[in-house]
Amino acid sequence: MAAKIVLLTGASSGIGRETALHLARGGWRVYAGVRKEADGESLAADAEGCAGALSPVKLDVTIGAHIEAVLAQIEREAGRLDAVVNNAGIFAEVPLEVLPLDELRKLFDVNVFGAMAVTQAALPLLRAARGRVINISSMAGRISFPIAGGYCASKFALEALTTALRLELIEQGISVSVINVGAYATAAWRKGADVGSEVLEGLDETHKALYADMIVEARRINGDFLQKVNPMERVVGTIERALTDASPKRRYVAGADARQVELVRLLPEGLREKLVMRQLGLA
């Protein structure tokens, strides 16, 4: 039986890297999107001896020429595409009042428009294979949290696009799933905190006074999350299930904290917001 072909974005580190290696070890042919040549070389070295094949490809999801080149390479080399996993994503931890609009646009460029650009380009190959689209979202795509509003907004948008895309493609034999992940120790979280630090250092005293308590508590909670991160194999295993389930689910949830968020979503909105604020020590 021919190996399944998957395009995975954001494979330089964290969830993407571990998923790429796991799938390659399981016999998949993985086209792993990376932004830096060094990341691709490291990934290829770690994949030596795998049962499948791993091909690092230069892919910044915000650059159309990269996307076109990768899809052309897949069609030329493999002749088919069974799945796309839109994993590339970035995070920012900044209060909305002082979040630079360029940073907000960047969040949407990667987390929303990048995922859609890759999906649009891949659909002809996916249609021929009756393949799958899997979008990696977050528990922050289910409940909006203070200090991370820009990131939450991008994931809420990705959720809406995922649902609409699923309904549009179902009659074409293409399944579309979303995976809501909890906290994992990835570079995206650290980079997001760095963005927040840079912005916050430049705040005037008025804004520092307005948001200081909320920022301190939000960062404490994030620190607690990262001390109790979910096992990486949990999200990797969830992605594999979404790729292999005979009847793919609309939604998968990876992580104990993400499952808790699903329960909190069932509460009345006012109570839900009080719980969030109470956790921040502000209510």
Active site residues: 151
Mean pLDDT value of segment 229-243: 90
Best mean pLDDT range from 27-31, 143-147, 222-226: 27-31
**pLDDT at residue 251, as a whole number:** 98
Residue 281 dihedral angles phi and psi, to the nearest 5°: 75, 25
Mean pLDDT value of segment 189-193: 57
- Mapped onto helix, strand or coil, the DSSP state of residue 99 is coil
Residue 119 dihedral angles phi and psi, to the nearest 5°: -65, -45
**pLDDT at residue 194, as a whole number:** 58
Question: Is 90 exceeded by the pLDDT of residue 278?
Answer: no
Question: Is 60 exceeded by the pLDDT of residue 189?
Answer: no
**pLDDT at residue 228, as a whole number:** 58
**pLDDT at residue 158, as a whole number:** 98
Enumerate the domain spans of the chain.
5-279
Spell out the long-range contacts of 119-124 with Cβ–Cβ below 8 A and sequence spacing 24 or more: 119/84, 119/86, 119/165, 121/67, 121/68, 121/71, 122/7, 122/71, 122/81, 122/84, 123/169, 123/174
- The domain over range 5-279 is classified in CATH as 1.10.3720.10: no
What are the tens digits of pLDDT across the range 158-170?
999 999 999 999 9
DSSP 94: -
What's the CA gap between 142 and 154, in Å, rounded?
Answer: 11
**pLDDT at residue 196, as a whole number:** 59
Report which of residues 59 and 208 the model is more confident about: 59
**pLDDT at residue 277, as a whole number:** 79
What are the tens digits of pLDDT across the range 1-16?
578 999 999 999 999 9
pLDDT band at 197 (very low <50, low <70, confident <90, very high): low
**pLDDT at residue 205, as a whole number:** 86
Helices (H), 170-231: 187-201, 205-227
**pLDDT at residue 111, as a whole number:** 98
Q: CB within 8 A of 187, min separation 6: which ones? A: 12, 13, 14
Question: Is 60 exceeded by the pLDDT of residue 151?
Answer: yes
Question: Is 70 exceeded by the pLDDT of residue 186?
Answer: no
Residue 115 tokens read as 């995922």
Give the chain's mean pLDDT.
Answer: 89
Mean pLDDT value of segment 51-75: 96
**pLDDT at residue 201, as a whole number:** 72
Q: What percent of the chain has pLDDT over 90?
A: 67
